[in-house]
Chains A and B, each alone.
Chain A
Amino acid sequence: GDSVTQMEGPVTLSEEAFLTINCTYTATGYPSLFWYVQYPGEGLQLLLKATKADDKGSNKGFEATYRKETTSFHLEKGSVQVSDSAVYFCALSDQGDMRFGAGTRLTVKP
C-alpha cells in the first residue's frame, strides 16, 4: 500500500542554518503530497502541498518540490528561526485517505 518515509529526528540546528528534511513515498497512483507542521500542544497545520510532478509548494520560507523520478518531496528552508521549532510530517493522499510519515522533530537554538 501507499506509504511515506521521512528522515528520523530529532534535528537540532542553530538559528539561520539551512534545513533539509527528507521525505520519500511509495504509491501506486499519482498522489498529492503535503507537509504538515505541529507546534507543541496543537494539532497539525498544513504547511505546503504539491499536486503533480515538478510542482513546488512553498509557504513561510519553506519549500518542497514533487520529484516523481526519485519519489521524493524534501522540505527545505534557507534560514531557520527559533519559531520554526516543531514536528514536521510528510504526507500523501491518493484515492482516499491520507498517509503520514512518522514525523521529524526540529529544534532551532538561538
Chain B
Amino acid sequence: NAGVTQTPKFQVLKTGQSMTLQCAQDMNHEYMSWYRQDPGMGLRLIHYSVGAGITDQGEVPNGYNVSRSTTEDFPLRLLSAAPSQTSVYFCASSYEPGISGNTIYFGEGSWLTVV
C-alpha cells in the first residue's frame, strides 16, 4: 500500500534556486493538493487539483507552481526559493473532499530549508 508518496524528504536550497517536490498517489484519487505547515499556523493550502489538466490556487500560492498531467502525479515547483519558503510541505489526495466526508490521505512530508 504505497498511498501518497512524496520526495525528497529533506532538502536544503540556496536563495534563488529552483526545485520540484514530487508527489504521486496510487489510489486513483481525482483530488490532489499541496499544503505547507508552519509553527502555530496549522496547514495552509498552496495549490490543488480536481483532476488531470486542472489546477487552482489555494490560500498561499505565491512563489509556487503546479501542473497535473496525469491522475497520479502532482509536482510542486518552487520557482526562486526564498527563506520564507522554509517549511514542511505535505502532499495529499482524496476523492472529492466536499462529498460525504471523503478522507484526505497525506504523504509523509518534505522538510525544506532555504538559506
Interface residues of A (CB under 8 A from B): 4, 32, 34, 36, 41-46, 49-51, 89, 93-103
Known: A43-B109, A44-B90, A44-B106. A98 touches B42 (CB 8 A): no
Known: A42-B109, A43-B108, A45-B106. A102 touches B41 (CB 8 A): yes
Determine the distance from Cα of A99 to Cα of B44 in the docked complex, in whole angstroms: 8
Determine the distance from Cα of A93 to Cα of B99 in the docked complex, in whole angstroms: 8
Number of A-B contacts (CB under 8 A): 61
List the B side residues contacting A89 at CB < 8 Å.
42-43
B82 at the interface (CB under 8 A from A): no
B74 at the interface (CB under 8 A from A): no
Contact among A4, A49, A93, A103 for B98, CB-based, below 8 A: A93
B97 at the interface (CB under 8 A from A): yes
9 closest residue pairs by CB, A with B: A32-B101, A43-B106, A51-B101, A93-B97, A102-B42, A100-B43, A100-B42, A44-B106, A95-B98
List the B side residues contacting A93 at CB < 8 Å.
97-98, 101-102, 104
Q: Do most interface residues of chain B lie in helix, strand or loop, or is the interface mixed?
A: loop
Interface size on B, residues (CB 8 A): 25
Report B101-114 CB contacts with A as 1/0, cut-off 8 Å: 11111111100000
Determine the distance from Cα of A32 to Cα of B100 in the docked complex, in whole angstroms: 7
- Can you list 9 pairs linking A and B with CB atoms under 8 Å apart? A36-B106, A44-B106, A45-B106, A93-B104, A94-B98, A95-B98, A97-B97, A100-B42, A100-B43
Determine the distance from Cα of A102 to Cα of B100 in the docked complex, in whole angstroms: 24
- A51→B45 contact, CB < 8 A: no
List the A side residues contacting B4 at CB < 8 Å.
43
- Least CB distance from B87 to A in Å reads 14
Determine the distance from Cα of A89 to Cα of B104 in the docked complex, in whole angstroms: 13
Chain B residue nearest to A8 in the complex (CB): B40
Chain A residue nearest to B96 in the complex (CB): A96
- B42→A101 contact, CB < 8 A: yes
Determine the distance from Cα of A48 to Cα of B102 in the docked complex, in whole angstroms: 12
List the A side residues contacting B105 at CB < 8 Å.
46
